[in-house]
């Protein structure tokens, strides 16, 4: 690890005037940021502010529409992640990519394994290398190089990624950590921070993406804030405050976005008692007609899993679900839809949309039963229906015959909403309804939610954006580790209160690869192939 002379001007990694467009969506606009060597620069911003896109450009995964990336003042042509790796730019991704059935050592050097004549694996050299590298980085006590990829904990998986970044032919010059602590326990976070400290002292430019204020103040030298694809400001971590950072991140009066009256009635649409599934434990809740209930919590708290259970997609182990007072047994999403439960899932492209089909097809899909005579779909009525909801939700497209893949994220989300609105569900579950949606479409989606509530729909919103939770909800339920850990009324809820509940106790933090407590039966699909 060579320490470049930090004194040289322009040393370190620089993003220069970077603009990135994805079709109609402008993800980054004229972003110029400098990441000096020997410093930790935190990158903050709301979801969708452009942090991931910037990281992807810096690490060669995306190419900028305009602008360039420089290292020590030299422009780099980064056509692929391999180019970036050669130049010494590394990223520790949020979700480590681990090959399940090979050892830690082979995972670390995958792609450049030592070999003997005839392309046979040189096991002695592999052993020598991994031992030396583990020792050099101080991991020799925490990571056994013979463990199989499938048996690693979340923290160990991350260590493998870090090892990948710090080994290899070229020395690392800049390392980006993308929300590295989201699946680590306190003790593991301490170890990670010690390591990042050493990287900084070795003259590496560290980029640290996180939402967690406390960590950022503990670790960062400088803080760069992105907002809606532009740089909102770069501040010195020693002189700034949480308030200033929030102001930089939000930069607008949020209350205007959420101007809505509260129209909750007394009619209980959904009542859940002691619901337990594979990932959700003993959850009880109620949603009334016209009420917006938000499920807050950290990623992995079990909110989406609860949503899928309510939509009939995951089997219920115990507990009851009542819709309009009567107990329902949901054997599949079809049953849930019959009961009037609609789900706009978290990953709209993967879980909701048919990208190659038209807006009309996507909108009418769950309403076809109403649009057919015998089994023939009445095209005229179908078009009228799709057009009505496309107009009502202001879907911006040339016509309802446009393929959904050509639309922007916000308009795609509106198509998902149109599908459910056309059906008129009693309960609508919205999982991260504004993720990856620009600010204008966000405001429109909030308005749609408010309108629905006024018409008497019961709404359950899952959101990781606290301002959204606070602005939309009549009541807020906070989840952690598959359980509801807090219930807040709109009047008493603050970001701090929600966060406190979301990270409430020191139950084992949510480590999907360590939850040996939940007995896995043979039929349960084991995530990540842990078998």
Partner 1 sequence: MTTALSVDREPDATGDRPRPAATARTWLARAGGQNLALIGAMALVLALFGSLNPNYLSWDNIQVIAEAVTISGLLAVVQTVVIICGALDISVGSQAGLASVTSAMVFTATGSNSLLGIGAAIAVGAVIGTLNGAVIIYGRVNATIATLAGLAAYKGIAQLISNGAAQGYVLNDSLFVFLSRGKIAGLPVMVWLLLLVAAAVHVLLKYTDIGRNIFAIGGNDTAARLAGINLNKYLIAVYALSGMVAAAAGVLLTARTGSGQPVSGSEGLELQSITAAALGGCALKGGRGGIGGTLLAVALLGALQNGLTVQGINAFWQNVAQGALLVTAVIIQQRRTGERAVGLPA
* Closest separation in Å from C-beta 187 to partner 1: 36
Nearer to partner 1, 42 or 390 (CB): 390
Contact between 345 and partner 1 per CB under 8 A = yes
Q: Is the dihedral of CA 186, 188, 189, 193 positive or negative?
A: positive
* Closest separation in Å from C-beta 234 to partner 1: 33
Tokens of 220: 């960062």
Residue 210 contacts residue 216 (beta carbons within 8 Å)? yes
Nearer to partner 1, 164 or 414 (CB): 414
Rounded to an integer, what distance in angstroms lies between the CA atom of residue 311 and that of residue 332? 8
* Closest separation in Å from C-beta 67 to partner 1: 21
Contact between 350 and partner 1 per CB under 8 A = yes
Contact between 99 and partner 1 per CB under 8 A = no
Tokens of 189: 């976070």
* Closest separation in Å from C-beta 422 to partner 1: 12
Q: Of 180-188, 206-214, 240-248, 397-405, which segment contacts partner 1 by CB under 8 A?
A: 397-405
Contact between 253 and partner 1 per CB under 8 A = no
Contact between 469 and partner 1 per CB under 8 A = no
Rounded to an integer, what distance in angstroms lies between the CA atom of residue 164 and that of residue 193? 18
Bridge partners, residue 175, by sequence: 90, 206
Nearer to partner 1, 226 or 429 (CB): 429
Contact between 526 and partner 1 per CB under 8 A = no
Contacts of 192 (CB under 8 A, 6+ apart): 158, 180, 181, 184
Helix extents (H) in 372-517:
379-392, 409-423, 439-454, 466-472, 495-502
Contact between 243 and partner 1 per CB under 8 A = no
Per-residue 3-state assignment (H helix, E strand, C coil) for 295-333: EEECCCCCHHHHHHHHCCCCCCCEEEEEECCEEECCCCH
- With H, G, I as helix, E, B as strand and everything else as coil, classify residue 17: strand
Contact between 357 and partner 1 per CB under 8 A = yes
Among positions 407-436, residues that touch partner 1 (CB under 8 A) are 419
Q: DSSP letters along 337-394, please?
A: HHTTEEEE-S-HHHHT--TTSBHHHHHHGGGHHHHEETTEE-HHHHHHHHHHHHHHTT
Contact between 128 and partner 1 per CB under 8 A = no
* Closest separation in Å from C-beta 504 to partner 1: 31
| 163 closest CA partner among 193, 149, 143 | 143
- With H, G, I as helix, E, B as strand and everything else as coil, classify residue 109: coil
Neighbours of 97 (CB within 10 A): 12
Contact between 148 and partner 1 per CB under 8 A = no
Nearer to partner 1, 215 or 346 (CB): 346
Which string of x and - marks every residue 293-332 that binds partner 1 (by CB under 8 A)? ------------------x-x------------------x
Contact between 376 and partner 1 per CB under 8 A = yes
* Closest separation in Å from C-beta 282 to partner 1: 25
Contact between 366 and partner 1 per CB under 8 A = yes
Contact between 398 and partner 1 per CB under 8 A = yes
- With H, G, I as helix, E, B as strand and everything else as coil, classify residue 431: strand
The residues that touch partner 1, with contacts defined as CB under 8 A, are 311, 313, 332-334, 336-338, 343, 345, 350-357, 361, 364-366, 368-369, 371-372, 375-377, 379-380, 383, 387, 391, 394, 396, 398-401, 419
């Amino acid at each position: 690890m060579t320490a470049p002379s930090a004194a040289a001007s322009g040393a370190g990694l620089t993003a220069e005037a970077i603009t990135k467009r994805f079709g109609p969506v402008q993800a980054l606009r004229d972003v110029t940021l400098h990441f000096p060597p020997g410093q930790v620069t935190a990158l903050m911003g709301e979801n969708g502010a452009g942090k991931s896109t910037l990281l992807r450009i810096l690490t060669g995964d995306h190419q900028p529409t305009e602008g360039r990336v420089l290292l020590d003042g030299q422009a780099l042509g980064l056509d692929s992640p391999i180019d970036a790796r050669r130049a010494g730019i590394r990223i520790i991704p949020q979700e480590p990519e681990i090959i399940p059935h090979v050892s830690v050592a082979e995972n670390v050097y995958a792609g450049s394994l030592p070999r003997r004549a005839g392309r046979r694996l040189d096991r002695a050299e592999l052993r020598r290398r991994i031992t030396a590298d583990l020792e050099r980085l101080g991991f020799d006590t925490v990571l056994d190089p013979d463990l199989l990829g499938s048996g690693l904990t979340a923290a160990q998986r991350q260590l493998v990624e870090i090892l990948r970044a710090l080994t290899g032919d070229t020395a690392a010059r800049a390392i980006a950590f993308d929300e590295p602590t989201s699946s680590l326990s306190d003790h593991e976070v301490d170890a990670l921070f010690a390591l990042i400290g050493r990287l900084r002292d070795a003259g590496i430019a560290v980029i640290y993406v996180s939402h967690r204020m406390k960590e950022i103040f503990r670790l960062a030298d400088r803080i760069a804030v992105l907002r809606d694809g532009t740089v909102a400001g770069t501040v010195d971590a020693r002189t700034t405050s949480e308030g200033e950072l929030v102001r930089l991140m939000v930069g607008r009066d949020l209350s205007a976005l959420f101007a809505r009256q509260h129209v909750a009635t007394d009619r209980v649409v959904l009542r859940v008692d002691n619901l337990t599934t594979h990932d959700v434990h003993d959850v009880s809740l109620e949603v009334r007609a016209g009420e917006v209930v938000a499920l807050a919590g950290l990623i992995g708290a079990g909110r989406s899993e609860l949503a899928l259970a309510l939509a009939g997609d995951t089997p219920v182990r115990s507990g009851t679900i009542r819709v309009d007072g009567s107990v329902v047994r949901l054997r599949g999403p079809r049953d849930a839809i019959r009961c009037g439960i609609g789900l706009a899932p978290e990953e709209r492209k993967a879980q909701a949309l048919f990208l190659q089909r038209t807006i009309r097809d996507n909108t009418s899909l769950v309403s076809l039963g109403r649009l057919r005579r015998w089994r023939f779909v009445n095209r005229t009525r179908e078009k009228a229906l799709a057009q009505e909801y496309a107009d009502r939700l202001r879907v911006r497209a040339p016509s309802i015959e446009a393929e959904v893949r050509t639309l922007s994220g916000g308009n795609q989300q509106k198509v998902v909403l149109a599908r459910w609105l056309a059906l008129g569900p009693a309960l609508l579950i919205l999982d991260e309804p504004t993720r990856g949606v620009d600010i204008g479409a966000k405001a429109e989606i909030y308005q749609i939610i408010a309108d629905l509530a006024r018409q008497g729909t019961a709404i359950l919103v899952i959101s990781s954006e606290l301002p959204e939770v606070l602005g939309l909800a009549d009541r807020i339920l906070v989840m952690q580790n598959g359980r509801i850990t807090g219930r807040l009324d709109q009047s008493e809820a603050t970001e701090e209160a929600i966060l406190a509940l979301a990270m409430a106790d020191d139950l084992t933090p949510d480590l999907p690869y360590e939850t040996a407590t939940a007995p896995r039966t043979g039929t349960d699909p084991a995530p990540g192939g842990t078998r």
